[in-house]
């Protein structure tokens, strides 16, 4: 703390020592090191790309603007500011409440102590200029060709995942990032499953910082945070925009995130039958498939509700059997349904070791997972199945499963357990419930 205080600007130290609190407050308000969270500070090391994947309200814009400010103070002279649109570059990156004009101070100096001050925005020239001649040019990702030609030693790319011409704009920007000894870029974005974003994450020259909206709770209104949790808590949109998760949705999958979001509801109180379905793995190694354990219930109107996903990976038979029985007991389930293709009589034996009197039904899969899942998917399309909250991993698997399986090569065991449970509650071929004449 002492070293941090001693490194503050001389004007701020003087104001503090002489008791001029108002002046000190103004000067210290621009000392980012005093207020920033560790995740908002540039990472150490010889990286080329600093990728900040974070939710709305995390403080991405402030982190990006402060990074540019710091780089200018350390000698950078040609910066590219790239946003989804030119209006975004102007109104968020430059003029915004966390933009460059707001974070820079009149007392800013370079490494030699020379005053560079707050920059001046020149809208007609699409640039921000400092007193020492350093400049930041504004670009729109809607016009990739404007990035052809300009050279930069630093680039701040904002909301990369929302760029209209993502690959073209990024390629042109990277061709121009060639000035100085260590040209670098800071990317601030809410993640979306874009191929380029995945490539950047995997690049050895990229350092990734992840964060959620709620990391910045101290600077956000409690009412806003409560509203976001209540409205978007477990939805795909909330997981992406608030928790900054990169959500996959495979082309040709039997389910979509939009569909599942629309079917999420509170657990009903009129469930007349509850089933816990178990899809056991072939082994218990770290490379083994997961043990799918999913519970679902049947309403009085003949529709089903998925209650819980207690699946687990790398578990010995005794462990997954205990997990399945615990879920069965907690829900006061009527039936445990276990696929026995992998373990045969062993599956029943290990479950009965935990609970001898469990109501157990053994199931044998004679068709592929895809063919068994199709009729269940049709029930979802007819809105005959709803989901409780807290099923994110199951829903991820559902939205990634195609007729080629999962792209990861893993077995869709959560999904398989779901299919067994729903098929038991609403057997394939059963029509819509009808009310007969009295």
> For 418-436, how does the pLDDT look when each residue is reduced to its tens digit (9 = 90+)?
999 999 999 976 545 444 3
Residue by residue, DSSP assigns 294-311 as EEEEE-TTS-EEEEEE--
Cα–Cα dist 312/317, whole Å: 11
Q: Output the furthest CA–CA distance in the chain (Å, rounded).
A: 93
Structure tokens at 120: 């001046």
Query: For the whole model, what pTM was predicted?
Result: 0.68
Domain boundaries of the chain, sorted by first residue = 36-219, 257-425
In tens, the pLDDT along 132-190 reads 999 999 999 999 999 999 999 999 999 999 999 999 999 999 999 999 999 999 999 99
Question: Residue 103 has what pLDDT?
Answer: 95
Average pLDDT on 237-243 reads 86
With a CB cutoff of 8 Å and minimum separation 6, the contacts of 196 are: 160, 166, 167, 170
End-to-end Cα distance, the chain: 82
Long-range contact set of residues 14-21: C-beta below 8 Å, sequence gap at least 24: none
CA distances from 243 to 55, 98, 264, 387 (A): 5, 21, 18, 20
Question: Top-level CATH class of 36-219?
Answer: alpha beta
Query: CA 101 to CA 199: how far, in whole Å?
Result: 32
Nearest-angstrom CA–CA distance, 90 and 161:
19
SS3 call for 253? coil
Mean pLDDT for the chain overall = 88
pLDDT digits (tens, 9 = 90+) for 297-348: 999 999 999 999 999 987 899 999 999 999 999 999 999 999 988 766 789 9
CATH of 257-425, one of 3.30.1490.20, 3.40.50.300, 3.30.420.280, 2.60.40.180: 3.30.420.280
- Give CA torsion, residues 44, 82, 183, 123, to 10 deg: -110
The residue among 5 and 255 whose pLDDT is bigger is 255
CA dihedral over 30, 36, 42, 44, signed as positive or negative: positive
Burial call 410-431: b when 16+ CB within 10 Å, e when fewer:
ebbbbbbbbbbbbbbbbeeeee
Whether 36-219 and 257-425 share one fold: the answer is no
């Amino acid at each position: 703390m002492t070293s941090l205080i001693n490194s503050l600007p001389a004007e701020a130290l003087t104001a503090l020592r002489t008791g001029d609190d108002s002046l000190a407050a103004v000067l210290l308000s621009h000392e980012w090191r005093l207020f920033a969270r560790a995740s908002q500070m540039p990472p150490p090391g010889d990286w080329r790309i600093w990728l900040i994947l974070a939710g709305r309200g995390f403080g991405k814009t402030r982190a990006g603007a402060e990074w540019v400010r710091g780089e200018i103070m350390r000698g950078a002279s040609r910066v590219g500011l790239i946003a989804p649109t030119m209006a975004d570059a102007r109104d968020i990156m430059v003029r915004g409440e966390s933009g460059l004009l707001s974070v820079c101070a009149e007392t800013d100096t370079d490494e030699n102590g020379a005053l560079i001050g707050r920059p001046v925005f020149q809208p007609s020239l699409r640039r921000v200029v400092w007193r020492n001649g350093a400049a930041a040019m504004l670009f729109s990702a809607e016009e990739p060709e404007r990035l052809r030609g300009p050279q930069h030693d630093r680039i701040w790319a904002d909301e990369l995942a929302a760029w209209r011409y993502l690959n073209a704009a990024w390629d042109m920007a990277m061709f121009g990032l060639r000035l100085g000894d260590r040209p670098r870029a800071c990317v601030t974005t809410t993640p979306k499953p874009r191929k380029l974003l995945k490539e950047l994450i995997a690049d050895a020259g990229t350092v990734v910082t992840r964060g959620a909206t709620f990391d910045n709770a101290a600077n956000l209104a409690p009412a806003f945070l409560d509203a976001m949790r209540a409205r978007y808590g477990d939805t795909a949109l909330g997981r992406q925009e608030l928790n900054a998760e990169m959500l996959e949705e495979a082309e040709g999958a039997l389910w979509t995130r939009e569909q599942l979001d629309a079917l999420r509801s509170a657990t009903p109180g009129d469930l007349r039958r509850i089933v816990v379905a178990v899809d056991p793995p072939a082994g218990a190694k770290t490379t083994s498939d997961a043990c799918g354990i999913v519970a679902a219930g049947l309403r009085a109107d003949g529709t089903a509700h998925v209650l819980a996903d207690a699946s687990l990976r790398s578990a010995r038979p005794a462990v997954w059997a205990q997990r399945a029985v615990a879920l069965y007991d907690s829900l006061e389930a009527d039936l445990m349904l276990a696929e026995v293709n992998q373990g045969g009589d062993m599956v029943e034996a290990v479950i009965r070791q935990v609970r001898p009197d469990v109501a157990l039904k053994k199931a044998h899969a004679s068709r592929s997972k895809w063919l068994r899942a199709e009729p269940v998917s049709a029930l979802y399309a007819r809105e005959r199945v709803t989901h409780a909250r807290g099923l994110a991993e199951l829903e991820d698997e559902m939205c990634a499963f195609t007729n080629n399986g999962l792209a990861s090569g893993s077995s869709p065991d959560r999904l398989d357990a779901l299919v067994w449970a729903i098929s038991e509650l609403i057997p394939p071929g059963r029509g819509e419930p009808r009310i007969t004449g009295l």
